[in-house]
Every structure is written in C-alpha cells, then in structure tokens.
Structure 1
Amino acid sequence: MLILAATPIGQAADASRRLAEVLASADVVAAEDTRRLKRLAAELGVEVGGRIVSYFEGNEERRTPELAAMLVEGQTVVLVTDAGMPSVSDPGYRLVVAAIEADVAVTAIPGPSAVLTALAVSGLPVDRFCFEGFLPRKSGERMRALTELVAERRTMVFFESPHRTEVSLRAMAEVLGEDRSAAVCRELTKTYEEVARGGLGELVEWAAGQEQGVRGEVTIVVGGAPSDSRTYAPEDLRELVAARQSDGLSRKDAIEQVAGETGTRRKDVYDAAHS
C-alpha cells in the first residue's frame, strides 16, 4: 500500500496520531527532506522503524520506479513532504500514478493544509475556490497566466516564495485590478503567523514596506471576479482588441486578454476581431 501522509505546516502538535503510527510501522518512508523527517519524528517521540529514502524534485523521476517495485513486492510505503499533503505542489503525483498503474492500493492520512487554512482565515468567499499553485517565474508567462484568470469567479489560492511575493502581487494588481480583495497569509500556524488583508494595491505597499522583505512560507488568496452580466457587442470587442494591439500585444494575445477581461468566449472575440 502507498500512504500519502500529510505533515504539519507549522506546529508539530498538529500531527495526527495516525501519522505517528505509520511512521513507526511502515516498511519504507519516502521523504522530501530526510532531515526534516527525522526532526519531526523526534518531536513526535516516534522512531521510524523502516527504511528512510529521499524523494524530492531532483530524484523523483528516477526513484519512482524503485518505490513502485517495492510496492509491488508487498511493502508499505509512506510518502511525506516538508509540509502539507504530498503531490499538492510537492513530489508525489508520479508515484501515485505508478501505484495505480501497478494495481497497488493508494490511501491518504489527511492533515494540515496551507490551502484550506489560508482560505479559512482570508475573510474571502470559500463556497467555491480554485488552487493555482505557483505562478510562472518569467514575467511574460506570469502575466499571461494571470490574464487567463481575470474573469475567474471563484476565490483563487496561490503559493509563492517570499522573495517573489512583492513581484507577484504587483502583477496581480496590474492584471486583476488594485481594488481586487486579497489576503497574504504568512507563516500559517507558526509563531510569527501574519495575515495581511486588503486590495491588491494595498498589499503591494504592504510587501514593499517590509524592512527585511517578505519572509517565511507564503500563501496568497485572491477574490474572484465580480459578477458582470454585461454583453459586449462585436464592435466593442473589436475596439478592445485593437486597443490591446496598440499597446504592443500581438492579435492572438490581445484576443486572449479581452476574452479574459470581459468573460466572453474566445471564439466570439476572435470572430469580432476578424469581422
């Protein structure tokens, strides 16, 4: 059996009893960081009984077949990452697929989640949401990814590294609007937990005002697009595309951006632009 085990995102005391039990009894424990695993086990007063192997982004592709073979042999493999649930923006997806293809049982030990914790404390609607993970590092790709989300009605959750938080917030403010409600959740459940709430423009100022820069683990929650029942006439769409092209966008990118901004089907914008 493959067991995906959620680990604490901050406080070791948040670990479940089941996590301690499987760490002690599993044949193999695959860890994103073996040192962190040993430190967590010590804090839980648990001695890992089985073999410990590393399983991180750099060796995930190579190690997956090895772990899959152990599963086929009948061994129980527990997969843990540095924090939260394995495979959610962390190593694990490849191993889950390999286990399923080998007809090996896959289960999970639920636990702390930065996504759900950030949603809960953000103060933004949580009835419908989507998880977008990390934005692209390159500026152009990041802007295109955000443009695709302009008309997204659901609350959006992003992970971000501390040194790119201000850059990402600036991009969000530019594409989604400075007044779009959002929350930056930093160091969730840890000693220096902080949740900064406000419009994206305000949060850019907050990030820029951090003397030592934004620090710690960061989760950004952004409100969805406001409901807009407006129907755009073809001539309006054509003018919007032309305006984006005059700003330097290619026709293709201009069509994509207008479709996202107006919530109009891309085909309708394309037809209007070429009419």
Structure 2
Amino acid sequence: MGEQVKPEGGCLYVCSTPIGNLRDVSLRLLDVLREVDIILCEDTRQTRKLLSRYEIPGGDRLVSFHEHNEVVRAEWLAERLREGRRVALVSDAGTPLISDPGDSAVAAALEAGVPIVPVPGPSAFLAALMASGLPATPLVYLGFPPRSRSDFARFLAPYRRLPATLVMYEAPHRVANLLHWLVEELGDRPAVLAKEITKLHESFWRGTLQELERRLAAEGARGEYVVVIDNRGAQDDAGAHESEEARWAEAVREVERLMEEGYSHKEAVKRASEAHGVKRRELYNRTLGG
C-alpha cells in the first residue's frame, strides 16, 4: 500500500496519542510530531513526556490549546494555517474531540480552507469496547454524564429504550453514583467497568450493574473509568421501567410525603424532582394546592 501524499501548505493533523502505555504510537504519528511547525497541546507537560520518550524536540513548537482557551486561540490558529503552517492537534491521551478539546481547532482549519488530516490511534472507549465482550454494534458513545441526578435523568432519557451498547466515561469519585443511577434508569443490565486501560493495573470487571456497584463499594474506586452497558434488553422488558406518567405520579406522591414530614412545598419539590428526574417547575405547578 502506498503512503498518503502529504498536503502542501497549511494543514491540521488531528492526532491520537497513547492513553497510558507510551508504546501505543504509530510510526506515522511520530513522523507528524517531528515534522509539524506547531503542536497544539491540551497540557504541554503531558505532551513533552511523549516527545521526550521518542527523542522528538518540542521547544517553542508546543502551544497550549485546552477547554479554557481554545475559543480565543481559534483565530490565531486560523492565521497560522493561512500562512502555511503545519499544525498537529493532540490531547493528553487518546483522540482529540472525543470528550477532549479540539472542535475549535477543526473549525479554524475549515475557516482557513486547509486540509484536516486524521492520524488515528488509541481511544479509551474503543479499547474498553474491544475487551468488554459486549456487542459492538449498534453503539452509542455518551462521554461524561451530568453530575446531578435530575440532569442525568434528562440526559439518559433518549437512550433508555434504545437496544444498543451504551458507553460512558466517569471519574473515580463519581462512578459509584453513576452505577446506582444507571440501575434506577435502565434496570440491572449486563455491563463492564474498565479502568487503567493499557496501564499496569488495567482491569475489566464484568457483571450486571448491581454486581459492579457492590464490587465497587467493597473494593473502592481508583483511576479513570469507562462504563460499557448492554442495553439490548430495553425493548424486551419495557414494563420494568416507569412510564413518564408513572414517573410523574411517583414524584407527586413524593412531594406529598415530604410535605407531611414538614418540608416546605419548595424544598419538597426540589428533592422530589432530583430523585425522580422530572422538571422542577412543572412538578411545582402540578402540586400547587396539594
């Protein structure tokens, strides 16, 4: 197979980097990192580690480009690309734009009218899926879920009845909540909890969501997690989940119970809306005068 012809003039290379094991690089990635004029980094310190491992000079080619500055950097980047600079976009680990910064860089390249060249490689959620033992298609990648219970319910609502494999990322201090919420929203589905992928303590816990929740409670959470859920039973047991009206009815009953316990209407609505994933204002209106 022939090698790809290199673009002339400015171009943006979107580069996947190792997610843990620094040996997970392609020869092409190393060539690109050696040859480009600018390397946009989520964290220049992390990128320097990779460059140092392969004796690639960094110097002033490394430019920070992360979620807090990527928008203001975009016009600067577009100008550099118009000038004919070759630019590599990398994240700390894995593939840019997959729960990592990069959208503004791609938009800047489109604005500048230069080629956008993918340099594929590692991705945590694909690596987790490969070893999970769960069906790979159809697949829905959901990234990091919201942190509040009510926001999570709304976030997951379009996928509750979808017969597909669902994949999410989560931090160690929130993964226990995520597993519990998934059980409440989806039922006790087959799932895999993957962590430290490609690293020394790589592990894949397999079981149901409740089994994983119990194991996590017993052994503790360490490292960044990928959660893979087989939701193919969604169509078979629709009766196991609340209908929207049943969800609302339970939320209304919860407000009534809390008010009987002495909570104000406002506080009861707040607690019940978060517990049942319903809109607070609508629940407030439904329970006025109750």
- When the two structures are superposed, what TM-score results if normalisation uses the length of structure 1? 0.83
1:65-144 matches, within 5 Å, as 65-144=75-154
User: Structure 1 residue 65: deviation in Å?
Assistant: 1.3
Q: Distance in 1 between matches of 2:52 and 2:61?
A: 16
Which amino acid letter does the alignment assign opposite residue 226 of structure 1? Answer: G
Please tell me whether residue 246 in structure 1 is matched to residue 246 in structure 2.
Answer: no
Deviation at 1:227, TM superposition (A): 6.0
> Contact 1:25 / 1:49 at 8 angstroms: preserved in 2?
no
Q: In 1, Cα distance between the equivalents of 2:109 and 2:19?
A: 26
Tell me the distance in 2 between the aligned counterparts of 1:59 and 1:156: 31
| Matched-pair contact (CA < 8 Å) for 2:186–2:234 | no
Corresponding residue number in structure 2 for 1:271: none
Pick one of 227, 240, 252 that aligns with 1:220.
Answer: 227
- Cα distance change, pair 244–102 in 1 and its aligned pair in 2 (3 A): same
Return 5+ residue gaps in structure 1 as ranges.
233-238, 258-275
- 8 Å Cα contact 1:23/1:49 also seen in 2: no
- Output one character per residue of 1:16-65: Cα deviation in whole Å (capped at 9) or x when no partner: 11111111111001100101111111112222366211011111111111
* Pairing 1:145–2:148 present: no
Work out the CA distance in 1 between the residues paired with 2:175 and 2:235: 29
Match of 1:34 in 2: 44
SS in structure 2 at match of 1:74: coil
Q: How many residues align?
A: 245
Asked if the contact 2:161/2:234 (under 8 Å) is kept, the reply is no
> Within 2, Cα distance between the matches of 1:228 and 1:117?
27
- Partner in structure 2 of residue 199 of structure 1: 208
1:163 CA drift (Å): 1.0
The 3 A distance-change label for structure 1 pair 74 and 50 is farther
Cα gap change, 1:229 to 1:185, in 2 (>3 Å): closer
Contact 2:162 2:235 in 1 (8 A): no
**Structure 2 stretches of 5 or more lacking a match?**
1-10, 253-268, 278-290
2:67 alignment partner, SS class: coil
- Tell me the secondary structure at the aligned position of residue 127 of structure 1: coil
Rounded Cα–Cα distance in structure 2 between residues aligned with 1:130 and 1:241 = 23
Measure the CA separation in 2 of the matches of 1:57 and 1:231.
Answer: 39
RMSD in angstroms over aligned alpha carbons?
2.4
Point out the structure with max Rg over C-alpha.
2
1:132-158 CA distance string (max 9 Å, x none)? 001011221012222332111110110
How far is the alpha carbon of 1:245 from its aligned partner? Answer: 2.3
* Letter matched to residue 243 of structure 1: A
Quick one: distance in 2 between partners of 1:193 and 1:60? Answer: 32
Contact 1:160 1:219 in 2 (8 A): yes
Distance verdict in 2 for CA 1:215–1:229, change over 3 Å: closer
> Which stretch shows the higher mean deviation, 75-84 or 137-146?
137-146
Q: Give the whole-Å Cα distance in 1 for the aligned partners of 2:238 and 2:77.
A: 54
Q: In 1, distance between residues paired with 2:143 and 2:243? A: 30
On the 8 A contact 1:131/1:156 being kept in 2, the answer is yes
Deviations 1:165-198 (A, max 9, x none): 1111110011111x20110100001000011111
Report the identity percentage: 40
Quote the Cα distance in structure 1 between the aligned partners of 2:92 and 2:135: 28
SS in 1 for 2:23: helix
Q: Given that residues 42 and 92 in structure 2 are in contact (C-alpha distance below 8 angstroms), is that contact kept between their aligned partners in structure 1?
A: yes
Change over 3 Å in CA distance of 1:149–1:216 after alignment to 2 = same
Match in the other structure for 1:264: none
Give the residue type in structure 2 aligned to 1:70.
Answer: R
1:60 aligned to which of 65, 70, 87: 70
Is the CA contact (8 Å cut-off) linking 1:26 and 1:50 kept in structure 2?
A: no
